[in-house]
Structure formats: C-alpha cells, structure tokens
C-alpha cells in the first residue's frame, strides 16, 4: 500500500448496493484537504467506507472521526460493568475479564438498526474499528435505505408521506433492556424520539427510509394494528438482500457508515472466540423531511 504521501487514494466500490474501500490511506496521520474532500464525496456516494490495514490507538481513532464533526457521547449500555476508555468510545465486545463484560452486545446477533435513532438528534455516522476478530461469524451487514425508498411501491410511498415513527430507546440492537429503562409491552408507550419515516439527507438531498429498529416501533396517529401492519410491510421491503452488503472483518479494518441513509446489523458468533471493536459516533442533527424533494 502506498501511503507515504497520504494523498493518492483509490475508491473501490464493493459492487453491491453500497460500500466502497478507500485504498492508500494511513489514518493515523491527517489526510490532506483534497483527500479529505474525496473521502467525504465517497461517503455520500457509497454510504459505507472501509479502510483496511490500519493501526490506530484510541486518540488517533478519535482524531480521524473528529474530521467529520463533533463526536457524540457513547449510548447507554445494557451491561452493568462496561466502562468505556473515552466518553465518546463504545467498546463492542464479548470479552470478559474476571467474569465481567468489557463491552456491549456480547456475541449475540444485533438486528437491523440505525445507531441512536431514539434520540432527538441522531448521529450522522458511526465508525467501527476492529482490534480482535473471531475466525468466523460476527459479520456486519449494511443496507441502503435510499434504494429501499426509491423502490417502494407508489402506494406504500403515499401511505408514509408526512408520517412519523417513534423510535424506542429502551432496548439495544441485541434486544437487551438498557440500564434504567423498564420493559414496555405496548409500543405506543415506548420512550424515545419521533422522526419522519421519509428522511431527507441534508447533504445529498436524497430521501431515505428511516426506520430505526423494528422492536416497539410505532407509527404515530395510527391504531396499533394498522401501525404494526404498515411497519411489517415497510420492513419486509427494506430488508431485501438486493440492498445489502456484508463486511467480513479483519483486524485493522475501520468501517464508517452514514446512519441517515444506511441501516446495519450483525451476525452472532461463537462465544468462545474473541471479538473486540471500538466504536465512536459523529453528532448529528434532527432528522427532517423536505417536501420539496418528494
């Protein structure tokens, strides 16, 4: 890899509905202005970027992330023992030290979601950096929500124009209850934020389906059974393999994704193997729908 100058990068699209590799960059050193502009453009074009073969400590990881904006603090976790090395870093891991989990999500499957969408202001993107990976499993899937929106049947599009959805904040993407939250049986009573289902991306001005998480979601203003039915149809459409790409992790991979236009999930893996990732997230704005784009 020619990273000597940190200026000649190549964007290699995955060939799937989203994601590209950025080749030729050492992220431990700041990229030049032109390179940075290329990365930003590639991020808007491909939604998910992968940088392989990196060697970063936490401050270098955070410095790279800060190029894209102010960082958000880590979310509230389910595990009682988890201590993050920095307030902006979430440790994603199944590793236990003296019987205590050092990270979040364990070895479980994480269902499709957009990070922290249950907040009023949602992170524009997240960065995940692989320090240890299991020999098999634990792959992370990404799904293009512009494509999901663009291909919605016209009738379904009409049904969701102007509608908002409640994004439940009580559970994480492994379905675990977060610290300090109580279990809700009725989605209408779930805590969280309300966001437009059709979300206009502030930079590309393209519309995306913005669904958050399926569990305890609720479409405001509808009777519960109609909300469930509409959500089921939207999720069935949004989770088609044609919109997906899967990241098979190697140590030193840094993957960054746009939370406004992509969802992600994770496969479970063997609990007797180790996986260790550091994640950070870039503070964002309040999701909106611009009617002029429809």
Q: Which residues bind ligand OGA (CB under 6 A)?
A: 92, 105, 110, 115, 126, 128, 140, 173, 264, 266, 277, 279
Q: What is the binding site for Mn ion (CB under 5 A)?
A: 115
Minimum CB distance to Mn ion smaller for 38 or for 172: 172
**Residue 46 host element (H or E):** helix 33-46
Minimum CB distance to ligand OGA smaller for 173 or for 227: 173
By a kind-dependent CB cut-off of 5 to 8 A, residue 159 interacts, out of Mn ion, ligand OGA, none, with: none
To Mn ion, the closest distance from the beta carbon of 173 in angstroms equals: 6
Minimum CB distance to ligand OGA smaller for 227 or for 247: 247
By a kind-dependent CB cut-off of 5 to 8 A, residue 101 interacts, out of ligand OGA, Mn ion, none, with: none
Are 144 and 18 contacting, i.e. CB atoms less than 8 angstroms apart? yes
CA distance 18 to 142: 8
266-277 core/surface letters (b: 16 or more CB in 10 A; e: else): bbbbeeebbbbb
To ligand OGA, the closest distance from the beta carbon of 271 in angstroms equals: 14
CA distance 171 to 77: 9
By a kind-dependent CB cut-off of 5 to 8 A, residue 277 interacts, out of ligand OGA, Mn ion, none, with: ligand OGA
Q: Torsions phi, psi of 265, nearest 5?
A: -150, 170
Minimum CB distance to ligand OGA smaller for 90 or for 164: 90
CA distance 265 to 5: 35
């Amino acid at each position: 890899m020619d990273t000597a100058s940190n200026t000649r990068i190549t964007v290699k699209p995955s060939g799937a509905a989203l994601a590209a590799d950025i080749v030729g960059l050492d992220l431990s050193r700041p990229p030049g202005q032109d390179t940075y502009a290329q990365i930003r453009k590639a991020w808007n074009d491909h939604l998910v970027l992968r940088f392989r073969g990196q060697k970063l400590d936490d401050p270098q990881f955070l410095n790279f992330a800060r190029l894209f904006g102010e960082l958000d603090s880590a979310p509230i976790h389910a595990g009682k023992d988890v201590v993050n090395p920095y307030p902006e870093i979430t440790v994603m891991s199944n590793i236990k030290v003296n019987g205590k989990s050092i990270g979040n999500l364990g070895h479980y499957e994480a269902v499709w979601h957009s990070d922290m969408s249950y907040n009023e202001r949602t992170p524009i993107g997240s960065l995940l950096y692989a320090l240890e990976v299991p020999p098999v499993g634990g792959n992370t899937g990404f799904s293009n929500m512009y494509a999901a929106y663009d291909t919605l049947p016209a009738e379904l599009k009409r049904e969701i124009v102007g509608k908002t959805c409640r994004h439940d904040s009580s559970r994480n993407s492994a379905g675990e209850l977060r610290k300090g939250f109580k279990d809700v049986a009725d989605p209408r009573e779930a805590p969280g934020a309300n966001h437009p289902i059709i979300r206009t991306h502030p930079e590309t001005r393209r519309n995306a389906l913005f669904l958050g998480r399926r569990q305890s979601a609720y479409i405001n203003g509808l009777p519960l059974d109609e909300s469930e039915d509409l959500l089921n149809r939207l999720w069935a459409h949004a989770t088609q393999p044609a919109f997906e790409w899967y990241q098979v992790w190697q140590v030193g991979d840094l993957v960054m994704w746009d939370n406004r236009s992509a969802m992600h999930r994770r496969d479970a893996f063997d609990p007797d193997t180790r996986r260790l990732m550091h994640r950070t997230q870039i503070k964002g704005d309040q999701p909106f729908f611009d009617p002029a784009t429809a």
